[in-house]
Amino acid sequence: MTNWKGKRILIIGAARQGQALARFLSQQSAKVILNDKRSKEQLKGEMSGLPKIDIDWVLGEHPLSLLDRVELVCVSGGIPLNLPIILEAQKRKIQISNDSQIFMESVKAPVIAITGSAGKTTTTTLVGRMATEAAVSPQKVWVGGNIGVPLVEYLDEIHPIDIVILELSSFQLEQMTVSPHIAVILNITPNHLDRHGTMQAYTAAKSRILQFQNSEDIAVLNREDSGSWELRNLVKGKLVTFGMQQPPMGETGVFLNNGFITLQSNNENYPIMQHNTIQLRGEHNLLNLLAACATAYAAEFPFEAMVKGIDGFTGVEHRLEFVRTWNGVIWINDSIATAPERTMAALRSFTEPLVLLLGGRDKNLPWDELAEQIHTRVDHVILFGEAAEKIASAIGHPHSEDRLIDVHKTNRFEDALEIAARVARKGNIVLLSPGCTSYDAFCDFEERGNIFKKWVNQQP
């Protein structure tokens, strides 16, 4: 592990990841500066969470003078890399890092890391459940990264025999210079183009999960997703694949075979479990299950642990989450859908008539394919937030061939819910799957989903 004693380190961003890293580095006797553009009043909660930590707070702006005598700049997730202070740090050849990079460089146990445009949290949670079933005392299972707690705080408690599972976003990966022992890429579809600019830059960030592997490492790729599969040339070690269809003979992978999730290895098929016993809705969730099983196989978890990990799993909060049946209408919270691609996956998960809540802040993503799907699958679309006009333009005329869809626009989220309640009929599904980020009106997708659930559950 790096000797941090006396090193002067600047952390930009005082949210969850920045706080965890500040605690860790301070405990390692580093000289920590925690910088955030928000005011002291706005950060009251964050500052109270670090009461006894010896760090310097610099708030309200990002002065370039903070870089003087700094040896390392750590950027929290969500902080854009084109900030003048970060560009100046690069100009001065100061190393840029983040909490996930420092964790990966320092952890003693092998790491399983999972990335993708969609399905990361569900798959990571599933692999964590499988790992818990596979673990043998005194082994511990640690799940974190982009979900849960940043694991950098627990480095001193993680032992070489433990199992570590990380969810990694493109924001974390774009600075990475270290790869996990098992690297999983679920899919790569348009997302975060407001941050990365182009699909090429976004894909390049995702690909870094493979870039620093060696011949002893393992990659798990989706052979039916072009974005994931096109990165197979970067694989340096063993390759395990997953997909709905059987892989070519000679390849190792997980697929669906006559109703069974099945492993193909050494040209033999090994059934793991029946598909119809699984409680998750949607083909995208089936792919997440296949990915989790492929990852578990790569990690040498027994089939029994895979089955027990899946058994009883009904999904993760804010991901096609059943909220309530009210007056014969089913209300579903899919607030995690912050890109059109995710909303399309949600629409494919239902056969019932749909009332779709769509909107928020756009990420400069294409809407055409979703608009086509809306014309064939949705009866009522309720648009809200900053992106309402843009999405309305993409949907175009509400009359398409022999289907008429009802399009409403409103600025306020609560008004959108009122409209949904008014137009929905018995047997309908009201689906919050916004296709946009929540930052025009909420802290994050979780706050948006929680407000949705609270409103629905408060109805008589």
Tell me the CATH number at 51: 3.40.50.720
pLDDT surpassing 70 at residue 195? no
For residue 1, is it within any domain? no
**pLDDT of res. 16:** 85
Q: pLDDT-derived band of residue 190, with 50, 70 and 90 as boundaries?
A: confident
Mean of per-residue pLDDT scores for the chain: 93
Q: What is the CATH number of the domain that holds 244?
A: 3.40.1190.10
Regarding whether 228 and 271 lie in a shared domain, the answer is: yes
Q: Are 191 and 119 in contact (CB under 8 A)?
A: no
Q: What's the mean pLDDT in 408-432? A: 97
Q: Provide the residue range defining the domain that includes 123.
A: 101-310
Q: Do 26 and 151 sit in the same domain of this protein?
A: no
The pair of structure tokens assigned to 267 is 């040209």
Q: Is 44 a catalytic residue?
A: no
Q: Are residues 21 and 112 in the same domain?
A: no
Residues near 424 by Cβ (< 8 Å), separated by ≥ 6? 329, 355, 380, 430
Q: How do strand 253-257 and strand 260-265 relate by DSSP bridges?
A: antiparallel
Per the annotation, the verdict on 214 as an active-site residue is: no
**Taking the alpha carbons of 226, 227, 230, 234 in that order, is the dihedral positive or negative?**
negative
In sequence order, the β-bridge partners of residue 132 are none
Same domain, 135 and 44: no
- Based on the fold, state whether residues 112 and 73 are members of the same structural domain: no
Active-site pick, 35, 98, 146, 285: 146
- CA torsion 82-86-90-93 (nearest 10°) is 180
For residue 245 the two structure tokens come to: 């269809």
Structure tokens at 342: 């995710």
Tell whether 269 and 366 lie within a shared domain.
no
Whole-number percent of the chain with pLDDT over 70:
97
pLDDT at 400: 54
Find the mean pLDDT for residues 425-443: 96
Q: Which structure tokens are listed for 363?
A: 């990420």
Alpha carbons 205 and 182: distance in angstroms, whole number: 17
In the structure, how many helices (H) and strands (E) does the chain have? Answer: 16, 22
Confidence of residue 412 (pLDDT cuts 50, 70, 90): very high
Distance CA 277, CA 260 (A): 10
How many other CB atoms sit within 10 Å of the CB of residue 252? 18
Identified catalytic residue from 31, 62, 120, 363: 120
Query: Would 316 be classed as within a structural domain?
Result: no
- Side-chain-side CA neighbours of 70 within 13 Å: the count stands at 28
Place of tokens 């790491």: 111
Same domain, 377 and 399: yes
How many angstroms separate the CA atoms of 65 and 258, rounded? Answer: 64
Residue 350 resides in a domain:
yes
Sign of CA dihedral 211, 105, 87, 44: positive
Residue 151 lies in a domain: yes
The tens digit of pLDDT for each residue in 201-224 reads 999 999 999 999 999 999 999 999
Least confident stretch, 50-59, 163-172, 370-379, 424-433: 50-59
Residue that has been written with the tokens 């027994």 in this structure: 302
Tell whether 315 is covered by a domain.
Answer: no
Within this chain, do residues 18 and 142 fall inside the same structural domain, yes or no? no
pLDDT at position 121 over 90: yes
Predicted confidence (pLDDT) at residue 281 exceeds the cutoff of 90? no
Structural domain count, the chain:
3
What's the rounded Cα separation, in Å, for the pair 265 and 252?
A: 5
Residue 439's alpha-carbon distances to 11, 183, 387, 408, in angstroms, are 23, 30, 11, 21
Q: Inform me whether the pLDDT recorded for 135 exceeds 60.
A: yes
* CB of 264 closer than 8 Å to CB of 246: yes
Q: Tally Cβ neighbours within 10 Å of residue 312.
A: 8
Please give the average per-residue pLDDT across 324-341, as a whole number. 96
**Do 38 and 123 sit in the same domain of this protein?**
no
pLDDT at residue 276 in the model = 83
349 shares a domain with 331: yes
Decide if 58 is inside a domain.
Answer: yes
Q: Quick one: pLDDT band at residue 146, thresholds 50, 70, 90? A: confident
> In whole angstroms, how far apart are CA 272 and each of 54, 196, 259, 275, 290?
51, 39, 11, 9, 10
For 372, residues 6+ apart whose C-beta sits below 8 A from its C-beta are: none
When pLDDT is cut at 50, 70 and 90, the band that residue 187 belongs to is very high
- pLDDT at site 196: 65
Residue 338 lies in a domain: yes
pLDDT digits (tens, 9 = 90+) for 300-325: 999 999 999 999 898 889 999 999 99
Residue 445 sits in a domain whose CATH number is 3.90.190.20
Has residue 329 got a pLDDT over 80? yes
Say yes or no: 296 and 419 in one domain. Answer: no
Query: Which of 192, 196, 284, 380 is flagged as catalytic?
Result: 192
Say what the pLDDT of residue 335 is. 98
Q: Kindly state the average pLDDT of the residues 280-290.
A: 91
Residue where one domain finishes, among candidates 310, 334, 359: 310
8 A C-beta contact, residue 329 and residue 425: yes
- Check whether 399 has a pLDDT greater than 70: no
**Main-chain dihedrals φ then ψ at residue 251, nearest 5 degrees:** -95, 155
Q: Are residues 220 and 85 in the same domain?
A: no
The pLDDT of residue 401 is above 60: no
Domain termination site, one of 54, 82, 97: 97
The predicted model gives 149-173 an average pLDDT of 94
120 is catalytic: yes
Give the rounded percent of residues in the chain with a pLDDT score beyond 90. 80
Decide if 431 is inside a domain: yes
Domain boundary among 97, 120, 145: 97
